[in-house]
Copies of this chain bind each other. A is one copy, B any other.
Amino acid sequence: MASAMSEEFEKFRLKIRNFVEKELDPVSIKIEQDTKIPDKIVDQMRQLGLFGLSIPKEYGGLGLSTIEEITIYEEITRTNACHRSRIGTSNGIGSMGILYDGTEEQKRKYLPRIAAGEWTAAFALTEPDAGSDAANISTSAVLKDDHWVLNGTKQFITNADTARVFTVIAVTDEQKRARGGVSAFIVEQGMPGLSIGSADLKMGLKGSHTNEVVFKDCQVPKENIIGGMEKVGEGFKTAMSVLDKGRLSMGACALGAAQKIMELCIEKIKNKIIEGLQKKEIQAIQFDLADMGIQIYAARQMLYNTASLRDHGGNITAEASMVKVFCTEMASRIAEKAIDIFEMDGCLTSNQIEILLRDVRLYRIYEGTSEIQRIIIARNLLKK
């Protein structure tokens, strides 16, 4: 599958791999301490075009296909996951709503800035009482003269502290709610009534932040509804439509991390063999390694196949959920086994394995928990 990619893209992919090894890996432990990605790194990511991977070329992005985009995620998650997270919302849930459903004017205004990494985009859907149950949000938007007035609190909003523009999902018709009463808004940082809370103290992804985002009589221009006034009430559809690809992305991130973990384990096992130590222990961990190889191979094939299906216009709702569950759960299993192989060394933050274990655990929650994915999958299987 990967072999079908263009030579030009292959070059880009190698450039990113090089960037990861030369620039990102060395700052990983520092980021754990500082809980911040160095500005220099963000600049480099901008220059590489990493904020606009899938935004079409006409809007200043790289215009990558799905399979190309996920391949880049695989590369960039071979290190501390915060980097992918930093570009993730601009490439995915933060900008895709505008791309899929926005007016031409909105696209022209926002996408080039997002693609350039000038404006980070974020996506505000989740609320304290509406996690998996997205249809239950209570943030409201009321039209008052030429402005929408937003009120409510969003939670766990990735990149809220660096975002210049938010895609915000809010209720515009309390009666209809998910069935035509929810709309998507473009809210810019600085609009009156928008405030960002302090960052959550998370288990992993220390360099990437999630925050509460509070709307208190927040004034948003009438035309900032995604797709314009004719799309009022279609926000839930917009929100859901950006999720399929998001699930593939999560799968790719988990896969990239898993692949990296396996490679580190291979090195570790080779060293154990060279050192002549622990020969008696070497068979069981080799079997663990074989299991890593098997799962990663399976994960990669299902991911690539699904991405390719999407690029060919297929409906991948069930498949994307399958990919997300399999890849993300696989990555946790592999990370846990890897710590065993590294023994106490694996518990040190100075070792990448320790960071990766904590990072990958997020993927089973983020952008739809494994449980929600299984509900979607079962529903689809029973439909047949």
Q: Contact residues of A with B, CB < 8 Å?
A: 1, 262, 266, 269-270, 273, 286-287, 289-291, 293-295, 297-299, 301-302, 304-305, 318-319, 322, 325-326, 371, 373-375, 377-378, 380-382, 384
Are the C-beta atoms of A290 and B374 separated by less than 8 Å?
Answer: yes
List, sorted by A's number, 28 A–B pairs whose CB atoms are closer than 8 Å.
A262-B381, A266-B382, A266-B384, A270-B382, A286-B374, A286-B382, A287-B374, A289-B378, A289-B382, A290-B325, A290-B375, A290-B377, A290-B381, A291-B374, A293-B318, A293-B322, A293-B377, A293-B378, A293-B380, A293-B381, A294-B325, A294-B377, A297-B302, A298-B299, A298-B322, A301-B304, A302-B302, A305-B305
Are the C-beta atoms of A378 and B287 separated by less than 8 Å?
Answer: yes
Are the C-beta atoms of B326 and A298 separated by less than 8 Å?
Answer: yes
Q: Which residues of B contact A295 (CB under 8 A)?
A: 326
Are the C-beta atoms of A319 and B290 separated by less than 8 Å?
Answer: no
Q: Which residues of B contact A294 (CB under 8 A)?
A: 322, 325-326, 377
CB distance from A378 to the nearest CB of B (A): 4
CB distance from A180 to the nearest CB of B (A): 28
Are the C-beta atoms of A286 and B325 separated by less than 8 Å?
Answer: no
Q: Which residues of B contact A262 (CB under 8 A)?
A: 381
Q: In the complex, A286 Cα to B378 Cα: how many Å?
A: 6
Known A298-B326, A322-B297, A322-B298: A269·B382 in contact at CB below 8 Å: yes
Q: Which residues of B contact A374 (CB under 8 A)?
A: 286-287, 290-291
CB distance from A348 to the nearest CB of B (A): 24
Q: In the complex, A322 Cα to B299 Cα: how many Å?
A: 12
CB distance from A247 to the nearest CB of B (A): 12
Are the C-beta atoms of A381 and B289 separated by less than 8 Å?
Answer: yes
Q: In the complex, A332 Cα to B377 Cα: how many Å?
A: 21
Looking across the interface, which residue of chain B has its beta carbon closest to that of A380? B293
Q: Which residues of B contact A373 (CB under 8 A)?
A: 290
Q: In the complex, A375 Cα to B294 Cα: how many Å?
A: 12
Q: Which residues of B contact A289 (CB under 8 A)?
A: 377-378, 381-382
Are the C-beta atoms of B378 and A305 separated by less than 8 Å?
Answer: no
Q: In the complex, A325 Cα to B298 Cα: how many Å?
A: 11
CB distance from A253 to the nearest CB of B (A): 17
Q: In the complex, A297 Cα to B326 Cα: how many Å?
A: 10
Looking across the interface, which residue of chain B has its beta carbon closest to that of A301? B301
Q: In the complex, A325 Cα to B374 Cα: how many Å?
A: 24
CB distance from A369 to the nearest CB of B (A): 12
Q: In the complex, A378 Cα to B287 Cα: how many Å?
A: 7
Q: Which residues of B contact A298 (CB under 8 A)?
A: 298-299, 301-302, 322, 326
A273, A299, A382 pick with most chain B CB within 10 angstroms: A382
Given contacts A273-B382, A289-B377, A290-B374, 6 further A-B contacts (CB under 8 A): A287-B374, A287-B378, A293-B378, A294-B322, A297-B322, A298-B326
Q: In the complex, A214 Cα to B289 Cα: how many Å?
A: 40
Q: Which residues of B contact A326 (CB under 8 A)?
A: 294-295, 297-298
Q: In the complex, A373 Cα to B377 Cα: how many Å?
A: 31
3 closest Cβ pairs, A-B complex? A301-B301, A290-B374, A290-B377
Q: In the complex, A286 Cα to B372 Cα: how many Å?
A: 12
Q: In the complex, A382 Cα to B304 Cα: how many Å?
A: 25
CB distance from A347 to the nearest CB of B (A): 24
Q: In the complex, A286 Cα to B371 Cα: how many Å?
A: 11
CB distance from A236 to the nearest CB of B (A): 23
Looking across the interface, which residue of chain B has its beta carbon closest to that of A263? B384
Q: Which residues of B contact A377 (CB under 8 A)?
A: 289-290, 293-294
Q: In the complex, A12 Cα to B294 Cα: how many Å?
A: 32
Of B266, B301, B381, which contacts A381 at CB under 8 A? B266
